[in-house]
Each structure stands twice: as structure tokens, then as C-alpha cells.
Amino acid sequence: MTRLVAAAVAALACTGTAHAAQRIALPSPIAPLSAQPPLAGGAHRSAENVAHSVSASTNVAVAIDRSGTPFSVTATQRLDVRGVGDYFFTIGAPVLAVRATADSASSPGMRTGSILWAGFNPGERLLVARATLEPAQAVPALPLRVLVSGHTVTLENTTTVTVETFTADAPRPPLIAYLSLLRGEVEHGRTPLQTSVPLASTPANVRMTVTAPLHVTGTIGARHVDLVLARRTEVRGSGRIDLRAEPIEHVDAVTPADGRALLREAIRATLVLARANQYEEFLGNPDPAGSSRTVYAYRTASPPHAAPVAAVGRERRTWVETALFVAALAAVLAAGAALWARS
Amino acid sequence: MTVRRIALLAVAVPLLAACGGGTHDATKHLLIVVNAPFSSTPYLGRAIENGTRLAAAQVNTIGVRVGNDHYLLTVRTMDTGLSPARAVANVRRAVSDGAIAIVDEGTGVDASWRVAERRGVPICIVFAGGRSLVDAATRPNVFRIAPTDHGVAFRLAEYLIPKHVKVALLHDDSDYGTAGAKELKRAFDGDRASVAIDETLPADALDLSPQILRARRAHATALLVWGRPATIASAITAARSAGWNVPLYTPPTGADPFVRQQLADHPSWVDGLTFAAGRLTAEVGAGPFTGFTQRYAAAYGVDRVGVHTSAGAAVTEPPETPMYAYDFVNLLAAALTKAGSTDPAKITKALEEVTVEGANGDERAFNHSSHEGVVDDDVYFARFHDMTYTPVKDDPLSATLPAISQTQ
């Protein structure tokens, strides 16, 4: 996406004074801003004649130790599949084990790096997989970091990313209209659309840092938590942690700013939506147009204690055996040489 | 003296050669063994063999490249005679002869899988549907491309229970019938009220009139007969000759040519017989399976059922079992490439990671947690009319499937 924006900026820059007549595409509010999430390349469906409509909801359970370090990640994904016909879905994930839940209409398959669903949908079908994920690969894609230090728990939003974008002067009315539209679409739970806007000056490259805000609720010990986490916050408290984090998809009301500031606001709004959308798709959705929602639950738990590794006895020669082996080998070689010389 | 030197050289040269590495492009052969009942049920044995040979021939048009070596597939057949002991002995011989895979009808796999597993050799069952035969966790080298008894029973229950019929569950006492009865019990456990009677039939009995009469007296309004083709033919004969026009449902054996051959003198008795089986076509339509049928017929001829329609057309049998064997060989070739090795154990692991387009145009694949190549959802229903069958219209999957040509 960064390359696309840069290309658009470059193309517009070449047009020189003709910029006033040019339009430029704003960033997509749904295109991912980094490699993951979704994990392991996301979800795909194989080419079939039927395009199923799929709504995905995922609960990610993160078990953390007393210091807040995750040691286990389990994702339960529910796919509500609509439409008559065959389906063959591949859900990318660093999966260690997977099983169906009791309410699943079918059982998932597992491959290295993916969960598989295959079958025939008579019209409506609920597919539910509970997958144990490889923590080393799943943890970097989580949106929240918990750090426990004494009686202070630090909550850190880890969705921040810096991307290349552009700035320019722009007429206000189209930007106001788009921001209002974007706000309405998000409030009604609809997938927002990308748009282009006219510019009033030559665009210039800038870097923008965006973060998907998180709604964090739950408890830390006896303390109730309900906050919007933009970057980082400290909460006084200790004891068992039980928190839920959900990405927030929200667009602020339009401010009375000039065209340049409004353009920056529109770009930021779309990028923040894109980032939030990314974290809503932790395991992806095989239907690119389908809705996705993910809730991340962090709970204190006891890490499993590794069983003591028994000393593995290996067949090794003693020095005496080695010496005997070398001597025998030398004798065989000497005998062979003598035989050769006499022949 | 010279003789001694020659003798020493005779020992040394092969040793030196064995130590050598390097690359060479000579074509080598990889053995696939077909372990099937050629003597006792020749039609089935030939079907498995032909499907295997057809795929091997197609793979061999370009061969399989593994590293620097080029391989062709060779197929060898071994007859089980439906004897588990012979089946196990065959697998032992196949493994010692260096087979990289075994395409199996299913007889004796409960014992033979261990023999093959010692060398990591994959066995693919392409006919028997017993649940216990395949388990990815406990039998890592056993795969199956064929409808499972579990899937067939489950789908039959799913199809019949909403019809509010009182079903007589009849099964014969063969291994096939007994395994099916267990699955039917599980499938109908959730709605025992829909079961009128549960009856065991003697597999070798020529006359099943007493058992059919008992089902009628139990007020059954449908018969579900799970057994060998001969049992199904006998059950139909007993019901129809008594003037009882009860609907009949069967597992895939209901479509076996033997049933129609036995009832050739009473074609109307076959009308309405509904069976469950693995689908022959995919969402993309009949094209891929028709193409496969044509290639199969070009190589081995058409499989004639031995009966005719009322218009006099000879009835042919679609190559369903050959399709399963064919798909496995293609998966095997893909696994060879994926594994980059001819070590059977590595091929077995790679079989869990590859997907091919099956002969019916559908995805064919295994994975770590399931070694079943036909998922339960792929079981459809077809009904006979005039000695040929068409998918039923009152089942969501079956209603989407086109009819397959079965006359010549």
C-alpha cells in the first residue's frame, strides 16, 4: 500500500501546476498496514462456482504469567457460512492443534500453517474451530501488551505503525462529505469505501504514525477496568488479570479545520480504520467482503511446568573400545597391503 | 597373483562406487502395489487396478522429478481373495519389494497397516468404509478415498428422519453389514422413534421373506438395507414379490451392478431404489468427471452392467471406484514432489500437505488431523429408474448435482 501511495504521489508531482485538476486516492480503510494480522497470510477460499457469504468472529484467549508475559494463545473462530454449495477454506495460522467445538457442523482439518474447512453447505452452516497457536508466532500479532511490576500494571497498545502517505492543500467540501460518509458507514457497521479527492496543491510525502484504539475492560485483582487505550497507560492494582481488548472502529466528527488539516484528518481516519480492521481479522475471513470481529482475552494463568528432561543414554564408545577398533582397523589394512605386495 | 588382484578389485570397485555421490539423470522406477480381491470380486479388483494404472500412465507422461533423479511409476497387482491373511502377506511382500505406496481395497488393513508402517509406507483404502480402519493419530500411514460408513449412515439418517418414515434397519451379518449396523445405530440414536425394527439378515440366505415380513408387521414404512449386493437384491425380491411396494434405501452397494443383474427379469423392482454414495461431480459440473470417464473408457473400455433400459440401451457403470484410486496416485505424485524424496515415510508426511484437483473436479486432499479424502458432506443420494440412476431432488447436495450418462 505504501508503494501505491508513493506511486500516486510521484505521478501527481509530475503533473506540476495541473495539480488543481487532479484527484488522488485516499488510503483504503480496509487494506492492511503490515504483514500481520491476519496471521500466516490470512484466509482464502479455493476457486469454486459459489461465493459464500461468511461472517467471522474470533475469540483469542491469551494466557499470561504473573509478569504479564503470554505463554499460550488459543483462538476460537466461528464462521457463519451462508449460501448453498461446496466450500474449501484455508485459514492461515501457526496452528499446533485444532478441533471442532460441540456446536460446529463439521470438523476442521489441519496442515502446517493452516486450518482447513471442506464440505457442502446446504444453505447455512456454522463452522467453529478451536486452535492452539504457536505462541512465538502469534504473540507479535496481538494488540495489547501487559506488563506487571509490583502493584502497577502497564497496558500498552501494540498496534502502532508508521506508514508513508502524503499531504497537500485540498478543497474542504469533498473531504467533509467523505468524512461524514465514513463516520456513518462505520456507525452502521458497514464496510467503508475508499475514495479519491481533488487536490489544490502538489502533494508531498509524509510519514504518519497510526494506532488502532482498543476498548479494554475487565479486572486487575479487585479493580475494575474500562478504558480506551490509545498508546500506553498504567493501572494501579495487583492480583489476577482478566481483561478483554477489542479494536475500536470509530470516526470522529468533522472539525472546522482548513483543507490541508481536513485532508490529514481524512487520511488518518482511513488509516486508523484500516489498522483496527486488521486486528478485527486476527485469523482472517475467507470471504473478502464478509464481516470480521475479534475479541482478545488476557488472563493470568500458571504456565505449564516443563517435565524434567531425563538424561538420554547414548551409545558411545569408551576410549578402550575406540583403541581396540583403531587397532583392528590397522591390522586389517596391514594384512591387505601384505597380500597385495605378495600377489 | 593376478587373480587375487582381480578379486581385490572386484571387492573394492563396488565399495568405491557405493561411496560415490554425484548427479545422474537415468530414469528410475517407483513401485505402487494394488492390493485387491482380484479372484473373489474381479470387478472391484479391476476397477482399483485400472484407476491406479490410468493415473500412473498420466504421471509417467512427464514422470516425477525428485532432486536430480527422474522417476516413473510402476504398478503391480496382488490378490487378496478377500482374505485378511493374504492381504497382510501381500503388504509384507510389497514393503520388502520397496513399494512406495499401496492402493488397497481395505481387507486386512487392521493388521497390514503395522507391516507397512515399519517402513512408513502409505496405504490408501479406496473401497472399505469402516470407521476404525482410518485414524490419523493412531494409524499415521493409512489414508482413505472412499465414502465412510459413518458418513453414509449419518447422511441417510439426515435424509430419512425429516421424512417421518418408520424405518426398518436391516443389515446382513457380513463384516460390511455389521460395521454398517454400528454406524446406523449411532446415526439414528438421536431419533429412535423413527426406527420400526432393527434386524440382522443372514448374508448367504437366498430368501429373506421371513425377515421382510417381520419388518412389515413392525409397521415399517421404509427399508434401509445395509449389506452386500446379494443381500440387497434378496431383500428387494422378498419385498416386491410379496407385493409390498415399500421405499428401499441402501449404502453404495445398492448401486453395485450385481443388484441389477439379479433383478434383470424384474426391472420395475429396481425402480425407486435409493442409495447413498460419494458424489461423482463437483460444483463445476459434470465436465471433469465426463472427461475422466472418457479417458478411462479409452484405456480400459466401458464397464457394462449387463442390463438394458426399456429402450434397449446397454447400461454402463460410471467409474467411481477407479476415480478414487486415480485421485490417490495423483496425490502421491504431488507428495513425492513436495517431499523431495522417495523415502516412503517422507511421502506419507507430505500426503498431509498436498491438494490436487480430483477426477470429479473437486479438491482432493488429506491433512494432519484427517486422512479421509471423501468428507461426509460429499455423500449424496441417487434413485433408480429404468436401470439407471439420477441424483434425488429432495436433498440440498443431491439437488445441485447433474445426472451422469449411464447408457451406451
Domain ranges of chain A: 2-36+55-72+133-300
pLDDT score recorded for residue B319? 94
List pLDDT tens digits, range B292-335: 999 999 999 998 999 999 999 999 999 999 999 999 999 999 99
CA distance B301 to B313: 17
In B38-146, beta strands by DSSP E: 64-66, 69-79, 101-104, 123-125, 142-144
CA distance A229 to B294: 64
B261 in a domain, yes or no?
yes
CB contact, 8 Å: B85 with chain A?
no
CB B169 within 8 A of CB B181: yes
Residues B371 and B388 in one domain: no
**Which candidate from B5, B283, B363 shows the least CB-CB separation from A343?**
B5
Neighbours of B195 (CB within 10 A): 21
Place of cell 452452516: A125
**Which candidate from B368, B369, B397 shows the least CB-CB separation from A122?**
B397
Per-residue pLDDT of chain A (343 residues; tens, 9 = 90+): 444 444 444 444 444 444 455 889 999 998 999 999 999 889 998 866 678 999 999 999 999 999 999 999 999 999 999 998 889 999 999 999 999 999 999 999 999 999 999 998 989 999 999 999 999 999 999 999 999 999 999 999 999 999 999 999 999 999 999 999 999 988 888 878 888 999 989 999 999 999 999 999 999 999 999 999 999 999 998 899 999 999 999 898 888 889 999 999 999 999 999 999 999 999 999 998 899 999 999 999 998 876 555 444 444 555 566 666 667 667 766 776 666 666 5
Q: For residue B282, give the DSSP letter.
A: B
Chain B partners within 8 Å of A106 (Cβ): 375-377
Q: What is the CATH number of the domain that holds B267?
A: 3.40.50.2300
Q: Which three cell numbers stand for residue B45?
A: 479388483
Range of the domain at B206: 150-276+308-316+378-399
Residues B45 and B141 in one domain: yes
CB burial of A201-232 (b: ≥16 within 10 Å; e: otherwise) equals ebbeeeebebbbbbebebebbeeebeeebeee
B289 in a domain, yes or no?
no
Residues B125 and B191 in one domain: no
Asked if B367 lies within 8 A of A46 by C-beta distance, the reply is no
> What is the nearest CA distance from A47 to chain B, expressed in angstroms?
10
**Which candidate from A108, A118, A122 shows the least CB-CB separation from B363?**
A118
CB burial of B299-330 (b: ≥16 within 10 Å; e: otherwise) equals ebeebebebbeeeeeebbbbbbbbbbbbbbbb
Peptide bond before B14: cis, by omega within 30 degrees of 0? no
Residues B53 and B134 in one domain: yes
Q: Which three cell numbers stand for residue B135?
A: 485414524
B180 in a domain, yes or no?
yes
Average pLDDT in the B148-167 region?
A: 96
pLDDT score recorded for residue A10? 41
Asked if B368 lies within 8 A of A48 by C-beta distance, the reply is no
Chain A partners within 8 Å of B366 (Cβ): 109
**Which candidate from A99, A120, A123 shows the least CB-CB separation from B377?**
A120
- Here the ipTM equals 0.74
Is A326 exposed, middle or buried (CB count within 10 Å of its CB: 0-12, 13-18, 19+)? exposed
Residues B239 and B229 in one domain: yes
B407 in a domain, yes or no?
no
pLDDT score recorded for residue A193? 83
Average pLDDT in the B150-157 region?
A: 96
CB contact, 8 Å: B15 with chain A?
no
CB contact, 8 Å: A46 with chain B?
yes
Q: Which three cell numbers stand for residue A341?
A: 605386495
Asked if B283 lies within 8 A of A85 by C-beta distance, the reply is yes
> What is the nearest CA distance from B1 to chain A, expressed in angstroms?
4
> What is the nearest CA distance from B195 to chain A, expressed in angstroms?
24
CB contact, 8 Å: B77 with chain A?
no
Residues B214 and B164 in one domain: yes
pLDDT score recorded for residue A17? 42
Phi first, then psi, for residue B335 (nearest 5°) are -70, -35
Residues B112 and B92 in one domain: yes
pTM score, whole prediction: 0.79
**Which candidate from A46, A48, A98 shows the least CB-CB separation from B369?**
A98
Q: E strand or H helix at B152, and its extent?
A: helix B149-160
Residues B128 and B264 in one domain: no
Q: Say how many domains are in chain B.
A: 2
Q: Which long-range contacts (CB under 8 A, 24 or more apart) does B343-348 make?
A: B343/B120, B344/B99, B344/B100, B344/B101, B344/B119, B344/B120, B344/B121, B344/B122, B345/B119, B345/B120, B346/B120, B347/B100, B347/B101, B347/B120, B347/B122, B348/B120, B348/B121, B348/B122, B348/B140, B348/B141
Q: Comparing B166 with B206, which gets the higher pLDDT?
A: B166
CA distance B8 to A342: 13
B11 in a domain, yes or no?
no
Residues B139 and B158 in one domain: no
Asked if B363 lies within 8 A of A112 by C-beta distance, the reply is no
Helices and strands, number each (H, E), in chain A: 5, 19
For residue B270, pLDDT over 90 is answered with yes
Residues B266 and B390 in one domain: yes
Chain B partners within 8 Å of A86 (Cβ): 282-283, 362
CB A128 within 8 A of CB A100: yes
pLDDT score recorded for residue B4? 56
Residues B87 and B229 in one domain: no
Chain A partners within 8 Å of B352 (Cβ): 111
pLDDT score recorded for residue A297? 98
Residues B312 and B391 in one domain: yes
Asked if B367 lies within 8 A of A116 by C-beta distance, the reply is yes
